[in-house]
Structure 1
Amino acid sequence: MDTLHVEPHIDIIIEEDEVIKGATEIVKIIRPSWPADQLLFKEFKDGITNKLVGLWYPDHYNEMILIRVYGHKTDLFIDRKAEIRNIRILNKAGYTHSIYATFNNGLAYEFIEGETLTIKTVRNPSVYQLVAKRMAQMHRLKPIHPEMCQKPFIWSKTEAFLSFVPKDFSNREKQIKKCFNLYRFEKTVKPFAVLKEEYNFLKEKCSQSGSPVVYAHNDLLLGNILYDEKKNSVTFIDFEYTAYNYQAFDIANHFAEFVGTDHPDYSLYPDKNLQKAWLKIYLEAYNKTDNIMEEDVDQLYREVDEFVLLAHFFWGCWALIQSEHSHIDFDFLEYAAMRFDEYFKRKSKLGF
């Protein structure tokens, strides 16, 4: 692969409780001509992993610089070097924003116009066909880098998650909250030994699926897709988990996000007709042909139906880790319980 552009690095750490102050210092360095005394800022609250703020000055909103501060202890489960490499690869392909600079616990990058998807817009045919096509285009990329593994990342990453899953909570307040929800927790988040058994089941089942291994986003929740109605385009953002992985996982993971994040409503999971319409558009773009056979759509549909289990399990483990370490105001324990609950319901429905 051609050499990728490497942006400057700034030796600064931004404290999570002083994001605006730290972001201002970054902007002063990378945009010294901007009037420091006129800077405006906006905090973005959609994310549940990192803290994000945008800075600009009057009449220059479209030149906004986004400053992302990595969440507490997220280096336990996110390879930040790989994330930055992925952004460089996808920016060069014309698929996402550019990076202006990195700093010790975050990065500064380009603002892109668009609205994040909602539980309504993600179901809009004029929008989801753009998402399906862009995912297919990304999956067709075959970046090669000496440090990039071309085997499915999902197994090593899930095993890492399981090794970090807390058996109890070091923070007293979180421990009390866990006890308060103990009955619900034990009903939905099984003992660690059971999670380990479920992981072994998933690995045996999904690794035999025959799903192609592609360059996948792996985290296409609604907040990670920007829709620009004027340009009739979508842009993917946040590449913390981007890596080679099963095609069916990336699609299944996106379908699982149709239900929303803050208050997931699993009745909104796309039905068979919507999935098959989406998959047909995807396969046309992925195979670069309009002649997609019905049996090909059916085959991918079956694969996706199984990989949704892995998506629920993966993010359930992730949420348990976040419930111990994150400083973000979000009930990660409840979210983990919901993902595992949905996992066991769907597993039963599929007859496994």
Structure 2
Amino acid sequence: MGATSNICDYATEAPRITSSSSSISDVPYSRLTVQTSLSLPEMTPRIIELCKELFKNWSKQDDSCFHVETVSGGITNLLLKVSVKAESGDTESVTVRLYGPNTDYVINRERELHAIKYLSAAGFGAKLLAVFANGTVQSFINARTLVPADMRIPNLAAQIAKELHRFHQVEIPGSKEPQLWNDIFKFYEKASVLEFVDGEKQKKYRTISFTEIHDELVELKELTGRLNSPVVYAHNDLLCGNIMANDEQGKLHFIDFEYGSYNYRGFDIGNHFNEYAGYDCDYSLYPGKDEQYHFFKHYLQPDKPHMVSVKDLEALYVETNAYMLASHIFWALWALIQAKMSPIDFDYLEYFFLRYNEFKKQKGGCLSLAQSFLQGS
């Protein structure tokens, strides 16, 4: 964790966010917006202005004391590290997270901010320090971001499983209703009525059968509902880019809870396994049964993984691989909406076909596995 624990003590009495969410009413708020389309040199003065407004102990610092650098730039958010050198010579750092343009179409920001307070109290992610018009300021985590190959390392996989078990124990006040099918059907409604100005995109979009997708959703919802997957507070986007490791301390950090919600345990694990494919989406890297069992043992009984029964391993294997299918459809429909709304240079339309085709490829085997399990139980 960066040296930022005292920053909130000096925060300005900034305007409070106009929201019913009590979890964000006690942090500074600014109405400033920082355009993600700007280059880093163009963005830097605006970031400095923002930080000076939000944090009183930085308000009189000369601009030359600030250093702004890019931490990462994904296809949803832009993360910046802001470091400030104090008169004492010490350096304080925070992370400024800029929301991607139009991401509110697919992300419930109020739900995210509501959960951060409780997740932070439980030791997950960075501490929320401030909120502004199109992003947040959080404490800086001194750790490296994992790469896809890391998730296959047995010791790291065991650590991730244990941390996910702990994550799933967190209680977030409010409704405990699982959001998977609510979110998927909302995505479906938005994705099925799009129109693209680009003729080639529109032509490709028209090849999609939304009647077929709807039938797939109904069938999958009915089948997974019979598996009785426990409802937990789930991360829902546990790819390598959202896991950080401090190798010296042997500590993992889960970050970015923007898709977090109460959801089915099987979805969170199945979605994580899909991310073994990495940024190249090589789904041949999806973990085999032995790798999955290794993960399950440390997830189900973190302190005594060798004590997990074969019956419990088999049940979680079926559950996870059924919900893995839901993960593919979730992100496929998400991609269609992004293809229309996002200005980011990424082929979201192609990504839809990649995920939906993988769903169809895996569907037969996973559904047969689930049906056989249900018949035998």
| TM-score, reference length from structure 1 | 0.89
The Cα offsets for residues 149-193 of structure 1, whole Å up to 9 and x where unpaired, read as 201110111111112115444443xx43454xx39x84xxx3111
Query: Which runs of no fewer than 5 residues in structure 1 stay unpaired?
Result: none
Q: d(CA) in 2 for partners of 1:34 and 1:301? A: 55
- Is 1:214–1:247's contact at 8 Å kept on the other side of the alignment? yes
Structure with higher Rg: it is 2
Find runs of 4+ consecutive structure 1 residues off by over 4 angstroms: 58-62, 287-290
Q: d(CA) in 1 for partners of 2:34 and 2:229? A: 41
Q: Could you tell me which residue of structure 2 aligns to residue 10 of structure 1?
A: 30
Question: Is 1:156 paired with 2:182?
Answer: yes
Q: d(CA) in 2 for partners of 1:209 and 1:35? A: 59
Q: Shift of residue 131 of structure 1? A: 0.7
Which residues of 2 match residues 60-71 of structure 1 at below 5 A?
A: 63-71=92-100
The Cα offsets for residues 116-146 of structure 1, whole Å up to 9 and x where unpaired, read as 22121111122111110110001112232xx
Report the CA distance shift for 1:56/1:198 in structure 2 as closer, same or farther (over 3 A).
same
> Which residue among 262, 267, 287 is the counterpart of 1:249?
267
Q: Could you tell me which residue of structure 2 aligns to residue 50 of structure 1?
A: 77
Question: Is 1:95 paired with 2:147?
Answer: no
- Is 1:46–1:223's contact at 8 Å kept on the other side of the alignment? no
Q: Shift of residue 268 of structure 1? A: 0.8
Q: Could you tell me which residue of structure 1 aligns to residue 326 of structure 2?
A: 310
Q: Could you tell me which residue of structure 2 aligns to residue 129 of structure 1?
A: 158
Q: Could you tell me which residue of structure 1 aligns to residue 3 of structure 2?
A: none
The one-letter code of the counterpart of 1:73 is N
Report the CA distance shift for 1:42/1:312 in structure 2 as closer, same or farther (over 3 A).
same
- Is 1:217–1:242's contact at 8 Å kept on the other side of the alignment? yes
Q: Could you tell me which residue of structure 1 aligns to residue 255 of structure 2?
A: 237
Q: Give SS of 2:96's match.
A: strand
Q: Shift of residue 38 of structure 1? A: 3.4
Higher relative contact order (CA 8 A, sep 6+): 1
The one-letter code of the counterpart of 1:338 is L
- Is 1:171–1:324's contact at 8 Å kept on the other side of the alignment? no
> Which residue among 42, 49, 67 is the counterpart of 1:25?
49
Question: Is 1:216 paired with 2:245?
Answer: no
Q: Give SS of 1:16's match.
A: coil
Q: Give SS of 1:63's match.
A: strand
RMSD of aligned Cα (Å): 2.3
More divergent stretch after superposition (122-131 vs 304-313): 122-131
Q: Shift of residue 22 of structure 1? A: 2.8
Q: Give SS of 1:350's match.
A: helix
Q: Shift of residue 289 of structure 1? A: 7.4
- Is 2:85–2:92's contact at 8 Å kept on the other side of the alignment? no
Q: Shift of residue 301 of structure 1? A: 0.7
| TM-score, reference length from structure 2 | 0.83
Q: Could you tell me which residue of structure 1 aligns to residue 212 of structure 2?
A: 194
Q: d(CA) in 2 for partners of 1:326 and 1:157? A: 19
Question: Is 1:272 paired with 2:289?
Answer: yes
Once the two structures are aligned, what percentage of the paired residues are identical?
A: 33
The one-letter code of the counterpart of 2:130 is A
Q: Could you tell me which residue of structure 2 aligns to residue 82 of structure 1?
A: 111
